[in-house]
Structures are given as structure tokens and as C-alpha cells.
Structure 1
Amino acid sequence: MNLSKQDFDYIRQYIKANCGIALKDDKKYLIHQRLEPLLKSYQIKSFSELTVQLMRNLSTKLHEDIILAMTTNETSFFRDRHPFDTFENYVLKKFKEDHQKQKGKKFRIWSAGSSTGQEAYTIAMLIYEFVEKNKFDGITLDNFVIAASDISTRALNKAKSATYYDAEVNRGLTVERKEKYFKKVDKHWQLEKHIRNMVTFYQLNFMDSLSRMGSFDMIFCRNVLIYFDQNTKKHIIQQFHRMLVESGFLILGAMENAHNESDIFTPVRIGSTLLYQKKGFQPQIKKRPSALNSFAKR
């Protein structure tokens, strides 16, 4: 299908206005790649016809499917591994030290842009294992709150069902964790209920106010900000800063950084992982080898 400059400009402005994703001039191919199959399924004959439909706002479902197509990101359990090693070996250990000083302390985590749930459930598995190891120190699952959000209702529905294909559970999970946390249901694998229940999912658009999510000790927002322009990134990161408690951590994707926000975040290198810590707290790091609210929808 031909995509004229006029249609490309309108469609990318529509996408930016509705979900914040900024498509540069060289991203014409991405519109083709993501939306052409959608046009065929809707029997829309051209991008010009799509533009007319969007202008007339004829279909809410079409709108949702366009946003879904443009915001679908690759995800997997334990993606890139090292951020989760850092979470397990540094962040949770720090929580244990804090818990010994302040019994009953809650640790709140947000997986922002959680897609189909693998990141949030990875965090849940690690917390479950941490609690198993430290239950005699008075640490329980009640000490932790895990929130996860995404713009896509379809992605959230899959995340809530916690049902995955063979290829999805075989990517990133060890055999031991697969056997411990999943059961085979027909041709799929379903996550055990006690892990599912540790995560609460929310529908959230990064273009809206994020403050309704509340405050957090740690925010995971990995491989999301790369899709936004610089001003939108800055606005989102500043909102994260306001939502983090003192000494709270932000972790971004490998191709993302908050270096331009050095006045509000201190970069902390832990092995291969770069954390951003809310300023006002100086972490004590031992050298080591590199290596939620009423609108929740369950």
C-alpha cells in the first residue's frame, strides 16, 4: 500500500497525540509494518481511507487496535537478566537491612509499560523466593506491593490471565522456575495463582497524569522511553522522580538514560546495571564482581 507524506504526517500526529510515541521522518516503514495488516483485517483499502476514518472518529475499536499495534513491545521473563540480578542481590538485600530497623516496612514496586506481564511476574518470582529465604526474619509477602501498568487492554488481559505459549516460557525461565511456577493447561502454560495474586494491573497512558499510581520505592520502566520525544521523556522522568520515595530507585532500558536529569537523580552502577537513585541519599555500595489504587483492574 502506498503511504503518502500527507497521510504519514496525519497518522503519526494521531499516534503521538493519543499515546505519546514520536515517529521521525525515517519511520515510515514502521507505519507500514505495524498498520498494514490491521488495514487488511478491517478491509480498509488504503492509508488515505484510514486517515479519513480517523478524522471522522468512526470506530473506537480501530483506535484501540492502532494504539495496540504501535505500542506492542518485545518482552520476556528475566529479560537481559542483569537488572534482575541487581534487584535480587542489591535492592532486596537493602530492603532486608531497612526492615530490620523498621519492622512492617512496605516496599512498593511499579512495572511501568508492563506489556503482557513477564517483567512484573519476574519481579514477583524473585520476591517470593526472597521471602522464602528470609521468613524467619519476619519478612512476608505482605511487605511488598507490585503494580504493573500498560496502555493496551489486550496486553493487560493476557497479563492478568498469566497464560503463555511454549516459546514464551522457554525464553528466559530456567527449567526449575518453569516447573515451580507454571502448570500446563491445554497448549499453554499458566502461572500459579499465588504468584499471579502478587501483581495488580492498571490501564495507564503515559500521556495522562501518572501520580494516581501513588508512591514507589522502585520503578522499572525499561525499553519504553525510547519511543518518546525528548520533551515527553523529560516530563515522564520528572513525574517518576516525584513519585519515588526518598532513596527510591528508577531503572531504565539499556538504550535509555536519565543523564539529563542529573540534578534530581544520582546514577548508581551495580555490576552491569545502572540504577538512578532519587537525590538526597548516598548509597553504601560494597564492591562486587560485574556480572495500589481503586482504579485497579484484575
Structure 2
Amino acid sequence: MTDVEFDFLRTYLKARSGLALSGEKRYLVESRLGPVCRRFNLASLHDLVNALKGGREAAMEKAVVEAMTTNETFFFRDRAPFDLFRDVLLPEAMARRAAQRRLRIWCAAASTGQEPYSLAMMLHEAAPRLAGWTVDLVATDLSTEVLERARAGLYSHFEVQRGLPVQLLIKHFEQVGEQWRIAANLRQMVDFRPLNLLQPFDQLGTFDIVYCRNVLIYFDAATKGDVLARISASLAPDGAVLLGAAETVIGLTDRLAPNSQHRGLYNQAAAPARASTGLPAAAMASALQPPLRRVVGL
């Protein structure tokens, strides 16, 4: 692969996925796109680049982007953000939405589903308190391939060993051959949708809680700022955003501010200005919701 071809692929991937590859990532491109070449019967990356420049095969373009997407995830990853959900975010959101009895949660860059299913298990544990509530748990990812896996809810023994307490494995999974499938009631709680964070996502509606963890680290500063600003626009005035441990809003957007009590948690920086309609925050968030696609019973 020549320098010119590598630069083309870097530009191509950034435009379509936001992925910002540094010069030393050439080995990563070669290792991940080699199988794509074989899949489409191309002799080399040189041929792949020429095919992409021709822009005639959408399946190939999609395969290139998905091959370069990092899908590292596991159940209850880093644990603290999930303890925070159980102990702080969920109780506080329920108190704020007591009149509407509806919560909306978004997991962006959900990969193969371990993060939203971790939240679904926590919501299941809170079911007695959520009786009569509607909880929308939306999970999105750029890759349709990983979303198919997420919808199936089927995981290897290695995957269920990573972060999943054994009591939850026994309670919520059944063994299928050498794999484990998460229970149907939990699969039905999660609405998986394809979404590229570089594109508009206002059609998703407004959310009370957003998990956008460990994806911004792959973007450059300008892309991070743009995505964070649009997440703020999709967040209720009194909502909360969880980012990864290595991510921050500082220096990227002034629309979100760090929560002084909890690391990795961010809130709207100017909630009063956003309520200029005169509606209370909870009422305004409710008014901005799209029609229900489905109601998930806990």
C-alpha cells in the first residue's frame, strides 16, 4: 500500500465514519482490510482503493467501514457507570418524570449489545418501581453486522465471562450449544437501530439519559465537538450524558458541562436558556418525543 493509497483510505474512512487514523495505523488498515479484499476477490489493497474510487459497489463501501470499526465491548464495562445508573441516574430520572411515567435512554455505539443489555438487566431489577411506566431503551451503531448480532442476543462463553456476574448469567441467559442467549423479554426491551453519529439523529427524539462511551476517542476534535453538540440537542434539559473514562467535553463544546459529583457524567450547561418555551423541563422533554414505536413492558 503506497502513501497515497493510505492517505486516500484515511480520508475515506474519516468522511464516512469519523474515524481519525494517525500515520502509524497503517498496519491496522492492512490487517483489517485484507479480509475485505479476499471477500470481494480483489488481489490487493491497491485494487480495493481503485474500486472505492469508482464508487460502484455499496456493499464493498459498507464492508470497508465496518471492518475498520472497533467493536470492543463487554457486559457492565467499567462497572461504575452502571452503579451510577442504578443508584443515581435512574432514581433521579424517575423522580423528575413521575407525572409522565416515561423514560427514554439511548446507548450510542452499542456494538454487539452488551451495554444496552446490561442496562436492561438493571431495569428488570427495578421493575417493581417501574410498574406502569414506559421505558424506551434505544441502542444504535454504525455497523449493521454487529446490530444483527446484538438483536440475536447470542454470546460466546468468553463474552459472558467478561463482566457478567454469574448470578445474572443464570437468571437471564439460556445455553444454546456452546453459546448463551439472553432472555427474550430482555431482547424485546432494546430497540436496536442503525445510526451513523456523523449524520443527523434528531429523528430519535429526546432522551433523559445518554450513554455514549468509548466512541469519541476515535474522532478528531472537530468531529467530537459536533457530535457532542448534537447529543446535547437530543438531551432533555435536565438529562444526563455518560462518556467513557478517557473522554471529556472540555474544550470541545460549551453545551455540556461536567457534573461536579460524578466523574464521566455531564449535564446541559445552560438548561434555563433551553426552557425558553415557558414549559417546565419535564413537560418540554415529553412534548418533543416521537410517536411510540412500541411499548416495552417490564
TM-score, normalised to structure 1, is 0.87
What is the CA-CA distance between 1:140 and the residue it aligns to?
2.3
Q: Summarize deviations over 1:105-146 as a string: whole Å, max 9, x none.
A: 2111100011111101111111110123x2xxxx22733110
Distance 1:31 1:186 in 2: 34
Distance 2:52 2:257 in 1: 43
User: What is residue 279 of structure 1 aligned with on the other side?
Assistant: 269
User: What is residue 288 of structure 1 aligned with on the other side?
Assistant: none
CA contact (8 A) 1:202 1:296 kept: no
User: What is residue 249 of structure 1 aligned with on the other side?
Assistant: 240
One-letter code of the match for 1:276? Y
Q: Report whether the alignment pairs 1:162 with 2:162.
A: no
Root-mean-square deviation (CA, aligned residues, Å) is 2.2
One-letter code of the match for 1:90? V
CA contact (8 A) 2:106 2:207 kept: yes
CA contact (8 A) 1:202 1:295 kept: no
Q: Summarize deviations over 1:158-208 as a string: whole Å, max 9, x none.
A: 111111111111111111000110011122211111111111011111121
Distance 1:226 1:141 in 2: 38
What is the CA-CA distance between 1:38 and the residue it aligns to?
2.5
**Relative to structure 1, is the Cα distance of residues 149 and 296 closer, same or farther in structure 2, using a 3 angstrom cutoff?**
farther
User: What is residue 177 of structure 1 aligned with on the other side?
Assistant: 168
One-letter code of the match for 1:188? Q
Following superposition of structure 1 onto structure 2, how do residues 1-298 of structure 1 map, counting pairs within 5 Å?
A: 3-99=1-97, 102-132=98-128, 134=129, 139-140=130-131, 142-261=133-252, 263-270=254-261, 273-280=263-270
Gaps of 5+ in 2: 273-288
Deviates more, 1:235-244 or 1:8-17: 8-17
Distance 1:167 1:90 in 2: 30
TM-score, normalised to structure 2, is 0.87
User: What is residue 282 of structure 2 aligned with on the other side?
Assistant: none
State the secondary structure of the residue aligned to 2:175: strand
State the secondary structure of the residue aligned to 1:21: coil
State the secondary structure of the residue aligned to 1:131: coil
**Relative to structure 1, is the Cα distance of residues 62 and 40 closer, same or farther in structure 2, using a 3 angstrom cutoff?**
same
* Identity %, equivalent residues: 34
One-letter code of the match for 2:156? Y
Distance 2:154 2:131 in 1: 26
One-letter code of the match for 2:48? L
Q: Summarize deviations over 1:57-90 as a string: whole Å, max 9, x none.
A: 2432221211111113200000011110111111
State the secondary structure of the residue aligned to 1:254: coil
CA contact (8 A) 1:86 1:270 kept: no
State the secondary structure of the residue aligned to 1:31: helix
State the secondary structure of the residue aligned to 1:260: coil
CA contact (8 A) 2:101 2:132 kept: no
State the secondary structure of the residue aligned to 2:140: strand
CA contact (8 A) 1:77 1:172 kept: yes
What is the CA-CA distance between 1:47 and the residue it aligns to?
1.6
Gaps of 5+ in 1: 283-291
Distance 2:45 2:135 in 1: 47
**Relative to structure 1, is the Cα distance of residues 262 and 54 closer, same or farther in structure 2, using a 3 angstrom cutoff?**
closer
Distance 1:36 1:156 in 2: 23
What is the CA-CA distance between 1:37 and the residue it aligns to?
2.8
**Relative to structure 1, is the Cα distance of residues 19 and 197 closer, same or farther in structure 2, using a 3 angstrom cutoff?**
same
Distance 1:79 1:30 in 2: 24
User: What is residue 289 of structure 1 aligned with on the other side?
Assistant: none
